C-alpha cells in the first residue's frame, strides 16, 4: 500500500510541496542569508556579517520602542481577551434563553478584516476623544488603548467559541459530586472546570499571543504608527524599515529574523508550559 | 433553499470565469509605458489622459499613483519588478542620488530641448537625468472677502488698512491676532485653517515652511552662490532662524480653527475644506491647492478673492521677500527598461508637453505652470493662484525664494522634523527639542 | 443553587443584551455615518443624520467609483474562492500522503509545515514578493498558487490530525477491491474528511478574504482586492473622503455579514472544531 501511494506522489504531494517550497521555504532561507548582507534587490547582495544586527539595536531606538510597545500590548490584550472570553463562555454554557443569538453576535466582528476594523474604530475613538479636544493621534496611550479595545472586540468571540467547546466536555458527574460534598463555586471552577478546559486554554493563549505579536493590518489602519512612530508595532516597524527608505533592506531583514525567532520562542515556550499543565492534571 | 443555493453557485461561477478570462488577458503591457505618478490629486486626470492617448496613438500607458507620502516606498517596490515603471520622478539632487542607477541620460531628447532654462534640469557631468515638468509656488493663501470684512470693521484695533500693507511678520501678527479677537464678527472659526499634522500630511510645515529659515541660512554661506548647492554641501546646520520659524508656527497654531491637541488628526484636505467653506481666512499652501478649494462641495470662496501672501517669519529684509517658487518634480526615464519602452515613454511625455491636445490637458486639467518653451502665454493655467504667482513674480524689488528643500538630506529627516513639530504643538516636547532635533537629524541623515 | 438560578439568569441576560449592543454598535455607527455628508462625520460620528447632513446614497456612489469597488469585489471573490478550493483539494491529499506513505521526507516536510504556522509573514515578505514577481506569479492566478503555499501549514496540520484517526482497515478493504490510491482517496478518504474540510475551508476563507499585505505586495498595483481598495482610499487621491470611506466600509462588511448569517452554524462549529484539533 505504501509503495502504491508513493507512486502517486506527483499528484498527491508535489503540488503542495512545490507551492510551499517557492513561497515559504526558499524565501525563508534566502531571508536568513540576506539578513547578513546589504542589498536593494536580491541579486546585488554583499555579505556584511553581523553589521545589520548591530544596526538594529544601535542605529536608533525605534526597534526597541516597537518591541516594548508590542510586548505591553500582547500581555494586556492576551489577558483581557481570555478573561472576557472565558467569562462569556461560562455564562453562555448556562441554561440561558437565546444563547445562540448572543454567540452569533459576539463572534461576528471576527469575520471583519483588519483594515476595515481599524477604520471603524478610528471613527469611534476619534468621535469620543473629540469631545475632550483630543484625537487618537494626540497621545500614544490613546493609540495603545485603541488597539487593545479593537483586538478585544475582534477576538473575544472567537476565543469564546473555543472555550464553549471546551466547557461542554467538562465531566458533569464530577461537578455534581463536588457539589454534594459541599465545595464552593470558586473551588469547583479552579479545581475541576479550569483543569478540564486546559487544552482550550492552551490553544486560546497560542492564538491570541501569536496574533497579538503579528498584528499588522489593524495597526496600519488605526494609527499607522503615529504620533512619531510611537504606536508602531513590530510587524509595521519591519515593513516601514523595508519600504520606508532606500538602503535599509538588510536591517529590515535582520529585524524580521529577530522577530521570527522571538515569536517562535514565545509560542513554543507557551505551548510547552500550558501543555505541561494539561498533563499534570 | 436548494434552488437559491444553486442560483448563488451559478452566479459565482459566472463571475469567476469572467475574471479568469481577465486574469489571463490583462498581462500584455510588456512593451507599454508605465508611469508612476507622484501627485495623488492628479490621479484621475492622468487616467483620462492615458485613455485619450491610447485612442489617439494606440499605445497603452499604465498609470499607477502612489498614495500620499508613499512615493519612495512604492517606487522602491515597483522598480525591482519585471514590469518596472518606465517613467518615474525624482524630487531633486537627493532623489537623483538614490535613483542614479535607474536614470537614463536625457540630453538628446526633444523633451530636454523644450526646457526654457536648461539650468533647471538635474545634471551630472555631461548628462541630463531629471527634467522638471511643473513650476509651483506657495505662500499664505487668503480669502480677500474675509480680510475686507475685517478692514471694514469699526472696532478693529490695528493700523493695518489693507493686505497690501502687510509686508513683514510683525504686521501679519498684529493683523492675525486682532482678527482672532473678532472671529465672531468675521464668521470664521479661526484665522488659519488647521495646521495638518497627520502623518504624511505634515509636508506643509516640515518641508515647505522649513524651506524659508534654511534658505536664509544657506544664502548667507559665502562659499557658494547657489543656496541649494550650499545646502547640499552642509553637514551641520545651525538652524540660526529657528526662533523665526517658531514665530510663524506659533501664529498658525494659536490662531487656528482647531485646538492644538487635535492638529495631529488633521489632513491637508481638511484644512483646504475649512478655507473653502469660509471657516478660515488663511491657509498656507501652494498653486496645486486651488483645485482642492474649488472642488469642495458648498464652496463659499469666490475665485477672484483667492490671493497669495508671502510667508513672513520676522527675518531682516523680508519686506522684499516674495513667494517660494520652484519645483520638486523631475521626470526620469528608467534606464533599465527596454529601448522601445524608453522611446515610447519619451513619446508620451513629448506628446503631453508638446502637442496641442496634451498641452491643453496640462494647463487646463492638471493646472501646471510648466518650464517648457512649448507653452505660450495663453496656455498657462488661469486659476487665481497661478495668476497671483505671476503678479508676485512681476513685482519690482521682490525676490522669490527658491525651493532649497530639494537639498534636505532625506525623507526621514522631514518625517522626524514633522514628529517634533507635532510634539511641540501637542505640548509633549519643547521648542528647544525641535531645534536640537532638526540639527541632529540633518547631520545623521546626511 | 437551583433555586437562585432564575434571578441570576435575569441579571446575566441584562448583561448579555448590553454587551450585544456594544458589539453591534460600531458597525451600526458606521452604517449611520455612511449617509452623512463627508464633513459632518469625523467630529460628530454619534449624531444621527439630519436635513443638513443627510446625503442619501451620494457616498456610496463616490466610494464605488473611487475605489473601483466592483472590480475589487470581483477579484477578492475570485482569489478567495479559487484559493480555498485549491487549498482544500491539494492539502487534504498531501496530508493523506504524509500519514500513509510513511516516507521520512514527507515526515520532515510535515514538521516544516507546522513550523511555517508560527513564522511571521514579515520574515518572507520581501523575498517572497521578489520571487513571485520574477516567476511571473504576480497575477491573480499566481496569487492562488501563493495562497496554496501559505495556507499549507495550517491546512495540512489539521488534515493530518484527522487522517490519523481514520482506521486503516477501511482503506485496506478498498485496496482489496482493486482501487488505486487516487480512487481510494476520492471515494473513501475524502468523504470521511468532510468535517475537517469544512473547517479548513472556513478558516482559509476568513483569512484570504481579509488579507491585505500579501496581495498588496504581490499584485497591488495592478489588481486591487477589497482590503487594498479600502486602504487606497486613505491616500490614493490626495485626501480622505470620510463619506466614501464609510460607504466602502459598509459595502465590505455587508457581504461578510450576509454570508455569516447564512452559514453561521458551519462557521461556528468549524472554528470550534479547528481549535480542538490544534
Question: Which residues of B are less than 8 Å from C125 in CB distance?
Answer: none
Is residue C159 in some structural domain? yes
Same domain, B47 and B166: no
Is residue B22 in some structural domain? no
Is residue B348 in some structural domain? yes
Contacts of C42 (CB under 8 A, 6+ apart): A123, A126, A127, A130, B265, C242
Which residue carries 480542538 as its cell?
C276
Same domain, C174 and C92: yes
> Which residues are B103's β-sheet partners?
B334
Same domain, B129 and B145: no
A window 108-127, beta carbon within 8 A of B: 126
Average pLDDT estimate for A54-71 = 88
Question: Which residues of A are less than 8 Å from B264 in CB distance?
Answer: 135, 137-138, 226-227
How far does the CA of residue A262 sit from the closest CA of chain C (Å)? 10
Is residue B8 in some structural domain? no
Same domain, C23 and C95: no
Average pLDDT estimate for B114-139 = 90
Task: Give phi and psi for B129, each to the nearest 5.
Answer: -120, -20
Same domain, C55 and C88: no
Cell numbers at A159, concatenated = 476565543
Quote the CA–CA distance of B342 and B87 in Å, as a whole number.
Answer: 8
Same domain, B74 and B164: no
B window 399-438, beta carbon within 8 A of C: none
SS3 assignment, position B398: coil
Nearest to B30 by CA among C103, C76, C228, C138: C138
Confidence of residue C243 (pLDDT cuts 50, 70, 90): confident
Same domain, C211 and C125: yes
Question: What is the DSSP-derived secondary structure letter of residue B135?
Answer: B
Top residue of A40, A131, A138 to mutate, by most chain B CBs within 10 Å, is A138
Average pLDDT estimate for C168-195 = 87
Same domain, C87 and C165: yes
Question: Which residues of A are less than 8 Å from C252 in CB distance?
Answer: 113, 116
Quote the CA–CA distance of A101 and C22 in Å, as a whole number.
Answer: 14
Inspect the interface and report whether the beta carbons of B262 and A244 lie closer than 8 Å: no
Average pLDDT of the residues of chain B: 88
Question: Residue C239 has what pLDDT?
Answer: 59
Is residue C266 in some structural domain? no
Confidence of residue B199 (pLDDT cuts 50, 70, 90): confident
Contacts of A7 (CB under 8 A, 6+ apart): C181
Same domain, C37 and C141: no
Confidence of residue C43 (pLDDT cuts 50, 70, 90): confident
Same domain, C230 and C158: yes
Q: Is the pLDDT of residue C34 over 50?
A: yes
Is residue A27 in some structural domain? no
Confidence of residue A1 (pLDDT cuts 50, 70, 90): low
Is residue B1 in some structural domain? no
Is residue C260 in some structural domain? no
Question: Residue B3 has what pLDDT?
Answer: 56
Question: Residue C216 has what pLDDT?
Answer: 92
The H or E element spanning position B131 is: strand B127-132
The number of folded domains in chain C is: 2
Is residue B51 in some structural domain? yes
Question: Which residues of A are less than 8 Å from C131 in CB distance?
Answer: 22-23, 26-27, 30
The H or E element spanning position B330 is: strand B330-333
- Structural domain including C13 reads 5-61
Confidence of residue C160 (pLDDT cuts 50, 70, 90): very high
Which residue carries 492539502 as its cell?
C91
Confidence of residue B18 (pLDDT cuts 50, 70, 90): low
Average pLDDT estimate for C234-263 = 82
Inspect the interface and report whether the beta carbons of B422 and A227 lie closer than 8 Å: yes
Confidence of residue C1 (pLDDT cuts 50, 70, 90): very low
The number of folded domains in chain A is: 1
Tally A–C CB contacts below 8 A: 291
Is residue C267 in some structural domain? no
Quote the CA–CA distance of B400 and C191 in Å, as a whole number.
Answer: 78
Q: Which chains touch B (3 or more CB pairs under 8 A)?
A: A, C
Contacts of A214 (CB under 8 A, 6+ apart): A235, A263, C120, C121
The whole-model pTM stands at 0.84
Same domain, C17 and C76: no
Same domain, C186 and C102: yes
Q: Is B67 on the interface with C (CB under 8 A)?
A: yes
Question: Residue A156 has what pLDDT?
Answer: 95
- Structural domain including A214 reads 60-90+109-280
Question: Residue C4 has what pLDDT?
Answer: 52
Is residue C151 in some structural domain? yes
Is residue B107 in some structural domain? yes
Average pLDDT estimate for B129-134 = 93
Looking at per-residue pLDDT, the higher value among C259 and A247 belongs to C259
Q: Which chains touch A (3 or more CB pairs under 8 A)?
A: B, C
Same domain, C91 and C189: yes
How far does the CA of residue B264 sit from the closest CA of chain A (Å)? 6
Asked if C144 contacts C208 with a C-beta cutoff of 8 angstroms, the reply is: no
What is this model's ipTM? 0.90
Same domain, C134 and C52: no
**Domain final position from C21, C45, C61:** C61
Looking at per-residue pLDDT, the higher value among A200 and C236 belongs to A200
Question: Residue B67 has what pLDDT?
Answer: 76
Q: Is the pLDDT of residue A199 over 80?
A: yes
Write out pLDDT tens, residues A226-269.
Answer: 777 889 999 999 998 888 777 788 899 999 999 999 999 999 99
Question: Residue A121 has what pLDDT?
Answer: 93
Average pLDDT of the residues of chain C: 87
Is residue C55 in some structural domain? yes
The H or E element spanning position A46 is: strand A46-47
Burial of C169 (0-12, 13-18, 19+ CB in 10 A): exposed
Task: Give phi and psi for C260, each to the nearest 5.
Answer: -65, -45
- Structural domain including B107 reads 29-135+327-375
CATH code of the domain covering residue A129: 1.10.3720.10
What angle (nearest 5°) sits at the alpha carbon of residue C263, between those of residues C257 and C266?
A: 130
Is residue C143 in some structural domain? yes
Confidence of residue C234 (pLDDT cuts 50, 70, 90): confident
Same domain, B160 and B124: no
Question: Residue A189 has what pLDDT?
Answer: 86
Is residue B380 in some structural domain? no
CATH code of the domain covering residue B353: 3.40.190.10
Is residue A51 in some structural domain? no
Inspect the interface and report whether the beta carbons of C275 and A162 lie closer than 8 Å: yes
SS3 assignment, position B258: coil
CATH code of the domain covering residue C225: 1.10.3720.10
Is residue B66 in some structural domain? yes
Write out pLDDT tens, residues A98-145.
Answer: 888 999 999 999 999 999 999 999 999 988 988 887 888 878 899 999
Is residue A48 in some structural domain? no
The number of folded domains in chain B is: 2
Question: Residue A209 has what pLDDT?
Answer: 94
What angle (nearest 5°) sits at the alpha carbon of residue B151, between those of residues B147 and B153?
A: 115
Write out pLDDT tens, residues B213-257.
Answer: 999 999 999 898 889 889 999 999 999 999 999 999 999 999 999
Confidence of residue B31 (pLDDT cuts 50, 70, 90): low
Quote the CA–CA distance of C178 and A4 in Å, as a whole number.
Answer: 12
Same domain, B314 and B332: no
Is residue C78 in some structural domain? yes
Burial of C128 (0-12, 13-18, 19+ CB in 10 A): buried
Average pLDDT estimate for B53-62 = 91
Question: Residue C205 has what pLDDT?
Answer: 92
Write out pLDDT tens, residues B347-405.
Answer: 999 999 999 999 999 988 888 888 899 988 788 888 899 889 988 988 888 889 999 99
- Distance, CA of C78 to chain centre: 13
Which residue carries 439630519 as its cell?
C50
Q: Is the pLDDT of residue B9 over 60?
A: no
Question: Residue B101 has what pLDDT?
Answer: 87
Same domain, C157 and C210: yes
How far does the CA of residue B268 sit from the closest CA of chain C (Å)? 7
Amino acid at each position: 500500500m505504501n509503495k502504491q501511494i508513493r507512486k502517486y506522489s506527483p499528484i498527491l504531494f508535489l503540488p503542495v510541496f512545490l507551492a510551499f517550497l517557492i513561497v515559504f521555504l526558499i524565501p525563508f532561507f534566502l531571508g536568513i542569508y540576506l539578513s547578513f548582507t546589504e542589498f536593494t534587490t536580491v541579486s546585488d547582495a554583499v555579505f556584511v556579517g553581523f553589521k545589520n544586527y548591530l544596526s538594529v539595536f544601535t542605529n536608533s531606538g525605534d526597534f526597541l520602542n516597537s518591541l516594548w510597545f508590542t510586548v505591553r500590548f500582547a500581555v494586556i490584550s492576551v489577558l483581557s481577551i481570555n478573561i472576557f472570553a472565558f467569562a462569556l463562555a461560562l455564562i453562555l454554557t448556562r441554561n440561558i434563553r437565546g444563547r445562540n443569538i448572543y454567540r452569533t453576535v459576539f463572534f461576528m466582528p471576527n469575520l471583519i478584516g483588519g483594515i476595515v476594523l481599524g477604520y471603524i474604530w478610528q471613527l469611534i475613538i476619534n468621535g469620543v476623544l473629540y469631545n475632550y479636544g483630543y484625537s487618537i493621534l494626540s497621545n500614544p496611550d490613546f493609540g495603545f488603548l485603541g488597539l487593545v479595545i479593537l483586538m478585544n472586540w475582534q477576538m473575544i468571540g472567537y476565543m469564546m467559541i473555543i472555550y464553549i467547546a471546551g466547557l461542554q466536555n467538562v465531566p458533569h458527574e464530577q461537578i455534581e459530586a463536588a457539589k454534594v460534598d459541599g465545595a464552593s463555586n470558586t473551588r469547583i471552577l479552579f479545581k475541576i472546570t479550569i483543569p478540564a478546559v486546559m487544552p482550550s486554554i492552551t490553544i486560546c493563549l497560542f492564538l491570541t499571543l501569536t496574533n497579538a505579536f503579528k498584528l499588522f493590518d489593524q495597526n496600519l489602519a488605526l494609527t499607522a504608527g503615529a504620533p512619531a512612530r510611537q504606536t508602531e508595532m513590530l510587524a509595521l516597524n519591519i515593513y516601514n524599515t523595508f519600504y520606508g527608505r532606500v538602503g535599509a533592506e538588510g536591517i529590515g531583514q535582520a529585524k524580521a529574523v529577530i522577530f521570527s525567532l522571538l515569536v517562535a520562542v514565545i509560542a513554543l515556550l507557551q505551548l510547552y508550559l500550558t501543555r505541561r499543565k494539561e498533563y499534570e492534571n | 433553499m436548494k434552488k437559491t443555493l444553486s442560483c448563488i453557485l451559478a452566479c459565482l461561477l459566472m463571475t469567476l470565469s469572467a475574471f479568469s478570462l481577465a486574469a489571463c488577458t490583462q498581462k500584455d503591457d510588456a512593451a507599454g509605458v508605465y508611469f508612476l505618478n507622484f501627485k495623488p490629486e492628479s490621479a484621475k486626470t492622468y487616467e483620462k489622459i492615458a485613455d485619450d492617448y491610447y485612442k489617439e496613438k494606440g499605445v497603452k500607458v499604465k498609470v499607477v499613483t502612489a498614495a500620499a507620502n508613499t512615493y519612495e516606498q512604492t517606487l522602491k517596490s515597483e522598480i525591482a519588478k519585471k514590469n518596472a515603471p518606465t517613467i518615474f520622478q525624482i524630487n531633486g539632487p537627493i532623489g537623483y542620488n538614490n535613483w542614479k542607477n535607474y536614470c537614463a541620460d536625457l540630453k538628446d531628447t526633444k523633451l530636454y530641448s523644450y526646457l526654457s532654462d536648461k539650468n533647471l534640469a538635474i545634471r551630472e557631468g555631461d548628462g541630463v537625468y531629471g527634467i522638471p515638468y511643473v513650476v509651483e509656488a506657495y505662500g499664505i493663501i487668503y480669502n480677500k472677502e474675509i480680510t475686507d470684512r475685517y478692514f471694514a470693521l469699526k472696532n478693529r484695533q490695528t493700523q493695518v488698512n489693507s493686505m497690501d500693507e502687510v509686508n513683514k511678520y510683525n504686521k501679519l501678527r498684529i493683523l492675525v491676532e486682532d482678527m482672532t479677537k473678532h472671529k465672531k464678527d468675521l464668521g470664521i472659526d479661526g484665522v488659519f485653517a488647521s495646521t495638518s499634522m497627520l502623518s504624511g500630511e505634515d509636508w506643509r510645515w516640515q518641508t515647505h515652511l522649513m524651506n524659508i529659515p534654511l534658505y536664509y541660512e544657506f544664502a548667507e554661506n559665502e562659499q557658494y552662490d547657489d543656496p541649494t548647492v550650499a545646502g547640499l554641501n552642509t553637514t551641520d546646520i545651525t538652524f540660526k532662524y529657528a526662533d523665526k520659524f517658531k514665530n510663524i508656527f506659533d501664529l498658525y497654531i494659536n490662531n487656528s480653527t482647531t485646538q492644538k491637541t487635535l492638529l495631529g488628526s488633521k489632513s491637508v484636505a481638511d484644512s483646504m475644506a475649512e478655507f473653502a467653506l469660509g471657516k478660515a481666512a488663511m491657509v498656507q499652501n501652494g498653486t496645486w491647492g486651488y483645485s482642492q478649494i474649488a472642488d469642495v462641495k458648498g464652496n463659499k470662496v469666490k475665485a477672484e478673492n483667492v490671493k497669495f501672501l508671502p510667508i513672513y517669519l520676522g527675518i531682516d529684509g523680508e519686506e522684499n521677500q516674495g513667494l517660494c517658487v520652484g519645483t520638486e518634480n523631475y521626470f526620469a526615464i528608467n534606464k533599465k527598461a527596454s529601448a522601445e519602452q524608453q522611446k515610447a515613454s519619451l513619446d508620451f511625455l513629448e506628446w503631453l508637453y508638446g502637442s496641442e491636445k496634451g498641452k491643453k490637458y496640462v494647463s487646463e486639467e492638471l493646472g501646471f505652470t510648466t518650464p517648457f518653451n512649448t507653452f505660450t502665454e495663453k496656455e498657462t493655467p488661469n486659476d487665481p493662484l497661478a495668476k497671483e504667482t505671476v503678479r508676485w513674480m512681476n513685482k519690482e524689488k521682490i525676490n522669490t525664494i527658491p525651493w532649497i528643500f530639494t537639498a534636505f538630506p532625506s525623507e526621514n529627516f522631514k518625517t522626524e522634523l514633522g514628529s517634533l513639530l507635532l510634539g511641540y504643538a501637542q505640548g509633549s516636547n519643547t521648542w528647544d527639542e525641535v531645534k536640537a532635533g532638526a540639527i541632529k537629524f540633518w547631520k545623521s541623515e546626511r | 443553587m437551583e433555586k437562585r438560578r432564575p434571578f441570576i439568569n435575569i441579571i446575566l441576560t441584562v448583561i448579555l443584551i448590553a454587551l450585544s449592543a456594544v458589539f453591534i454598535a460600531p458597525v451600526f455607527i458606521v452604517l449611520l455615518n455612511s449617509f452623512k455628508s463627508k464633513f459632518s462625520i469625523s467630529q460628530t460620528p454619534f449624531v444621527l443624520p439630519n436635513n443638513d447632513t443627510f446625503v442619501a446614497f451620494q457616498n456610496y456612489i463616490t466610494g464605488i467609483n473611487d475605489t473601483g469597488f466592483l472590480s475589487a469585489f470581483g477579484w477578492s471573490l475570485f482569489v478567495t474562492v479559487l484559493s480555498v478550493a485549491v487549498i482544500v483539494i491539494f492539502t487534504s491529499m498531501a496530508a493523506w500522503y504524509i500519514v500513509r506513505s510513511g516516507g521520512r521526507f514527507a515526515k520532515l516536510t510535515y514538521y516544516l509545515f507546522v513550523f511555517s504556522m508560527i513564522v511571521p509573514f514579515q520574515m518572507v515578505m520581501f523575498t517572497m514578493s521578489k520571487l513571485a514577481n520574477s516567476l511571473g506569479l504576480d497575477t491573480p492566478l499566481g496569487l492562488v498558487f501563493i495562497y496554496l503555499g501559505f495556507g499549507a501549514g495550517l491546512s495540512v496540520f489539521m488534515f493530518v490530525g484527522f487522517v490519523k484517526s481514520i482506521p486503516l482497515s477501511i482503506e485496506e478493504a478498498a485496496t482489496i477491491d482493486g482501487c488505486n490510491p487516487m480512487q481510494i482517496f476520492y471515494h473513501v478518504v475524502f468523504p470521511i474528511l468532510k468535517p475537517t474540510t469544512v473547517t479548513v475551508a472556513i478558516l482559509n476563507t476568513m483569512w484570504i478574504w481579509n488579507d491585505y499585505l500579501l496581495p498588496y505586495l504581490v499584485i497591488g498595483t495592478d489588481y486591487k482586492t477589497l482590503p487594498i481598495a479600502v486602504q487606497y482610499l486613505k491616500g490614493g487621491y490626495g485626501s480622505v473622503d470620510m463619506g466614501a470611506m464609510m460607504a466602502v466600509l459598509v459595502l465590505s462588511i455587508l457581504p461578510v455579514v450576509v454570508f455569516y448569517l447564512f452559514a453561521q452554524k458551519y462557521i461556528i462549529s468549524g472554528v470550534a472544531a479547528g481549535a480542538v484539533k490544534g
